[in-house]
Chains A and B, each alone.
Chain A
C-alpha cells in the first residue's frame, strides 16, 4: 500500500542506487576524457613518427586500460536495481528508458569487443593509420555511449516526447527526436563529457607533475602536460559555458532545483549570484522543511537576474514564490493548484481502472479518449506526481546539499582554470621544475577533480527530489515494496564489492605509474 510505504525502504533504495551510481561514476569520466587524450597523442605520433610519442601514448593507454577494465559492467548493476528496487518506475517509463539503454548496450558491446582490442593488441599488427582510427573510434564511441545514458537521465529531469497509455500503465515514446534533442539532454551531454575531459586532463597533469617531482621521464611528463594543459583548458572553458547554459535551462524547467542550489527562498529583482556562502538554520520552517539563511555570503549583485533572463532587473523567484505563487511573477502556478490538477488526473486514472475491472468497455474507451486529449495531458497529466504529495512544501529538496554541491563544483571548476593556465605558463616559461609547489598542488588536485565531478551528479539527482521523474512520479511511488533488510544487505555487499574494485584499480594503477612507461 502506497499510503503505508516505508520511508526507510525508499531511503535505503535511494542510498543503494546513489552508492552504485557514484562508484560507477568514478570510472566513467576518466574513460571519456583519457580516450581523447590518447587519441591526440597517438595522432601526434603518427604525424611526427617519433617513437617517444608512441611510448607516451602507450603509457597513458595502460592507465586507460586499467580504469576501463575495472569500471566495465559496474553500470549494469544500476539496471538490475531498476527491476528490483524501482519496479513501478521501470514499468511506468516503458520503452523511453529501454530504447536509449539498449542502443548504449549494443554500442558498448561492439566498441569494447572490437576497437578496444585493436587499441591494445594491435600495435605492430595493424597499420599505424588503422590503429589510430581505432583509438579515435574508441574515444568517439565511449562518448556516444554516454550520450544514450544521459538522454535517459535527461528525460527523467524533463519528460518529453511521450504519451501515457493507461491500458499498459506505461509511457510510450511518440517522438524519438524530442527525447534525443530534449534541451536538458543536449546540455547534460555536453556538460558531462566536457567535465570528463577536464577530469582526465587533471589526472594526466597530476601524474606528469609527479614524474617531474621525482625527476623521472621529464620529456614524457612535459609533453603530457602540454597536451593535458591545452585540452584541459579548452575543456574547463567548455564546462563553464555548458554549465551556464544548463543553469539557464534549469531555471526554466526545474526552477525549484535552481532556487535550492542558490539557497534562494525569497524572490527578488536584481538578484545576486552567490559566489561563496555558508548556510545557517534560521529555526523557522516551510511546512516540515527547515529554512536556511546565509551566515556568510559573497555575491555578485544582479548577476543571477542577468544569468537567467538576460536582464539585471528581471525577477528571479525564490522557493517561497515557486510554492505559494507571487504577484511579481503571475505565471508561476502555486503547488496547491498543481496538486489539485494532479489529483484530478489520478482520479480519472482510477475511474479508468474501475471501468476496466467492471468490463465497462464504453466507459473505458471514453476515458482513454479523454486521457489522450491535449488538454488533459497539458492541464492534468503533466502534474500527475503532485497527486502523491501531502503538502506543497514536499517539493523542496535538501537545500543544504544542493547549495554546497553546486558551489563546490563551481569553485573547483574555476580553480582548475587557474591550474591549467599556470601549468602552461610554467611549461612555456621552462620553469616547471623550479616551481615544485605547483607540481605538488597539481598532484593533490587529482582527487579534487573527482569530487567536483561527483558533486555535479549529487546536485543533479538530489536537487530534483522528491521526483524520480520530474512532476510525474515521486521516488516514494517509484520504489518497489520489498523488505528493507534485503536492500540493506545489497547496499553492504555493493559497498564491499566496489571498494575492493576501487582499491584494486588504484593499487594496479599506482604500480604502473611507479614503474613508468615501457622502454
Chain B
C-alpha cells in the first residue's frame, strides 16, 4: 500500500515545491495565465462565443438540415 501511494506523493511534493519556490517572473506569468484563462473561458466563451448551431438547434438532425439549407441556397453571394 505504501509503495502504491508513494509515487503520487512524490509528484504532489514535486509540484508543491516547484510552485512554492517559483521565481518572481514565474509568479507574474502565473497571474497572467489565470486572468487570461478566466477571461477566455468565463467571459468570452460564455457571453461572446456561444456555439451557434448548439444554441439554436436542439439536435444534430436539425443542425444538418440548417446547414443543408445554407448549402443549397441560390447563388449570388456577392450581390
Question: Which A residues have a C-beta under 8 Å from some C-beta of B?
Answer: 1-5, 7, 62, 65-66, 69-70, 72-74, 76-77, 80-81, 83-84, 87-88, 90-92, 117, 120-122, 125, 166-170, 343, 346, 349-350, 353, 387-391, 394, 474, 476-477, 480, 482, 486, 489-490, 493, 497, 501, 504, 508, 511-512
Contact assessment for B28 and A117 in the assembled complex, using a CB-CB cutoff below 8 Å: no
* A74 to B29 CA separation, bound complex (whole angstroms): 14
Q: Which residues of B contact A83 (CB under 8 A)?
A: 49-54
Q: Which residues of B contact A1 (CB under 8 A)?
A: 73
Contact assessment for A125 and B14 in the assembled complex, using a CB-CB cutoff below 8 Å: yes
- Please provide the chain B residues from 6 to 50 with a CB less than 8 Å away from any CB of chain A in the complex: 14-15, 17-19, 23, 25-26, 28-30, 32-33, 36-37, 39-40, 44-45, 48-50
B76 CB to nearest chain A CB (Å): 4
* A190 to B6 CA separation, bound complex (whole angstroms): 43
Q: Which of A66, A387, A394, A489 contacts B25 (CB 8 A)?
A: A66
Contact assessment for B75 and A389 in the assembled complex, using a CB-CB cutoff below 8 Å: yes
A498 nearest in chain B by CB position: B36
Knowing that A84-B50, A125-B14 are A-B contacts, what are 11 other residue pairs whose CB atoms are under 8 Å apart, sorted by A's residue number? Answer: A3-B73, A3-B76, A62-B23, A70-B36, A73-B36, A83-B53, A84-B52, A87-B51, A117-B14, A497-B39, A508-B29
A164 CB to nearest chain B CB (Å): 10
B72 CB–A CB distance under 8 Å: yes
A91 nearest in chain B by CB position: B67
Beta-carbon contacts of B42-79 to A below 8 Å, as 1s and 0s? 00110011111110000010011101111111111111
Report if A477-B32 is in contact (Cβ < 8 Å); known contacts: A3-B79, A65-B26, A83-B54: no
5 tightest A-B CB contacts, nearest first: A121-B18, A2-B73, A80-B49, A83-B51, A69-B29
Q: Which residues of B contact A390 (CB under 8 A)?
A: 75-79
20 chain-A/chain-B pairs, Cβ below 8 angstroms: A2-B73, A3-B74, A4-B79, A65-B26, A70-B32, A77-B40, A77-B49, A80-B45, A84-B50, A87-B51, A88-B67, A117-B15, A120-B26, A121-B15, A167-B64, A168-B60, A389-B75, A389-B78, A394-B78, A501-B36
Q: Which residues of B contact A489 (CB under 8 A)?
A: 48
* A482 to B53 CA separation, bound complex (whole angstroms): 12
* A81 to B14 CA separation, bound complex (whole angstroms): 37
Contact assessment for A387 and B33 in the assembled complex, using a CB-CB cutoff below 8 Å: no
Report if A353-B77 is in contact (Cβ < 8 Å); known contacts: A66-B29, A70-B29, A508-B25: no
A387 nearest in chain B by CB position: B75
B20 CB to nearest chain A CB (Å): 10
Contact assessment for B52 and A504 in the assembled complex, using a CB-CB cutoff below 8 Å: no
Contact assessment for A62 and B14 in the assembled complex, using a CB-CB cutoff below 8 Å: no
B76 nearest in chain A by CB position: A3
State the interface size on chain B (CB cutoff 8 A): 43
Where chain A touches its partner, the secondary structure class is helix
Q: Which residues of B contact A117 (CB under 8 A)?
A: 14-15, 18
Question: Which B residues have a C-beta under 8 Å from some C-beta of A?
Answer: 14-15, 17-19, 23, 25-26, 28-30, 32-33, 36-37, 39-40, 44-45, 48-54, 60, 63-65, 67-79
Contact assessment for B64 and A91 in the assembled complex, using a CB-CB cutoff below 8 Å: yes
Report if A87-B52 is in contact (Cβ < 8 Å); known contacts: A121-B17, A349-B72: yes
* A388 to B71 CA separation, bound complex (whole angstroms): 9
* A129 to B75 CA separation, bound complex (whole angstroms): 62
A167 nearest in chain B by CB position: B64
B61 nearest in chain A by CB position: A168
Contact assessment for B77 and A476 in the assembled complex, using a CB-CB cutoff below 8 Å: yes
Q: Which residues of A contact B48 (CB under 8 A)?
A: 84, 486, 489-490, 493
Q: Which residues of A contact B30 (CB under 8 A)?
A: 69
Q: Which residues of B contact A88 (CB under 8 A)?
A: 67, 70-71
Contact assessment for B15 and A77 in the assembled complex, using a CB-CB cutoff below 8 Å: no
A515 nearest in chain B by CB position: B25
Q: Which of A74, A91, A121, A389 contacts B63 (CB 8 A)?
A: A91
Q: Which residues of B contact A474 (CB under 8 A)?
A: 77
Q: Which of A62, A77, A167, A388 contacts B77 (CB 8 A)?
A: A388
* A105 to B17 CA separation, bound complex (whole angstroms): 27
Contact assessment for B32 and A501 in the assembled complex, using a CB-CB cutoff below 8 Å: yes
A149 CB to nearest chain B CB (Å): 18
Contact assessment for B68 and A166 in the assembled complex, using a CB-CB cutoff below 8 Å: yes
